[in-house]
Amino acid sequence: MLPAVTATRYVTPLREGGSLPGLMEADDLGTYVVKWRAAGQGVKVLVAEVVCGELARALSLPVPALVTVDVVPELAVGEPDPEVQELLQRSAGRNLGLDYLPGALDFEAGVATVGPELAGRVLWFDALVGNVDRSWRNPNMLFWHGRLQLIDHGAALTFHHSWPGAAAAVRRPYDAGQHALVECAPDVRAADTALAPRVTRELLAGVLAQVPDEWLDGPSPEDPPEAVRGRYADQLLARLGARDAWLPPLVEAARAGRPRRRAPRGENRPAWLGPPPPPGVSQR
């Protein structure tokens, strides 16, 4: 299970996307970007965040720490926005927290430092989990103390939004044409050689054990949590085993590359980081 903390103070809402994540302080003295169980996308977004985040970590990819955050409805009292206040109240209980990275820099600030090995591993990982949200416009990557950090995986694992159709996703090609790392000459073949043998049922069992039982929702409401975890593992292993369908086009997309349309400075910066530093000012 993920480490568990209790929220002690609600700092501010973060207005990006439709989920209104919030910045919160907790009883471990940490500060977290909290994603709500009652947000419009529901708890399956939280499941995707945990499964993808912890799988990435298990594959030695850089991701911020994840925790569960227990929130009491009384913390919403001081929030003047009624929409946010209602969201906090409806999200009483266990939510997901992402370690806040103070001083993190935009993806644009460090993309030139990303080499083919790391780019290939991230691209391969995104293809495995079906992450559709790593484009040049919204890369969901930051640089913290000079190191790339992968964030926001809630849009991945789309198969779990319709379990009856999950089999169709197993062999589905991954559209890498707009991926933010295609310009970094990603070595996808080397990534496959290095990472594919590490994705085992045992590794996935450890990853899926991090997901709270109450967030798991399978094809049938009667499915126990362990059965749902098994469905996720089966789906990901089937996807891994179907690499003959999606790996060759992924390799070709990486080889072709394309000039990336640069976003204006700060456009793809998460709101919770505040405004970008002036040109020429680096992270302290």
d(CA 47, CA 39) in angstroms, rounded, equals 13
Using the structure block, give the residue that is written with the tokens 């707009």.
178
Residue at 65: amino acid letter: A
DSSP conformation class of 222 = T
Domain map of the chain by residue range?
Answer: 4-99, 105-256
Separation between Cα atoms, residue 73 and residue 85, nearest integer Å: 9
Residue 261, pLDDT score = 56
DSSP string across 226-269: HHHHHHHHHHHHHHHHTHHHHHHHHHHHHHH--PPPPPPTTTTS
Strand pairing category for 66-71 and 4-13: parallel
Q: Distance between CA 59 and CA 141 in Å, rounded?
A: 17
CA distance 44 to 47: 5
What SS3 state is found at 129? helix
Instruction: Kindly calculate the radius of gyration of the chain based on its CA atoms and give it in whole angstroms.
Output: 19
30's CB contacts (< 8 A; 6+ apart) are 5, 67, 97, 99, 100
Torsion sign, CA atoms 12, 161, 194, 175? negative
User: Is residue 128 a contact partner of residue 167, using CB atoms and an 8 Å limit?
Assistant: no
Residue with tokens 């970590």: 57
Q: Are 188 and 123 in contact (CB under 8 A)?
A: yes
Q: Given this model, what pLDDT does residue 281 score?
A: 45
DSSP reduced 3-state for 22? strand
State residue 15's pLDDT score: 75
Instruction: Identify the pLDDT of residue 41.
Output: 81
- For the chain, 284 residues long, give each residue's pLDDT as a single digit of tens: 999 999 999 999 987 656 689 999 999 999 999 999 999 889 999 999 999 999 999 999 999 999 999 999 999 888 888 998 999 999 999 999 999 999 999 999 999 999 999 999 999 999 999 999 999 989 999 999 999 999 999 999 999 999 999 999 999 999 999 999 999 999 999 999 999 999 999 999 999 999 999 999 988 888 999 999 999 999 999 999 999 999 999 999 999 987 455 555 555 555 545 555 555 544 43
- Write the CB contacts of 211 (distance below 8 Å, at least 6 apart in sequence): 47, 50, 51, 229
What stretch of H or E contains 69?
A: strand 66-71
Dist. CA 5–CA 96, nearest whole Å: 10
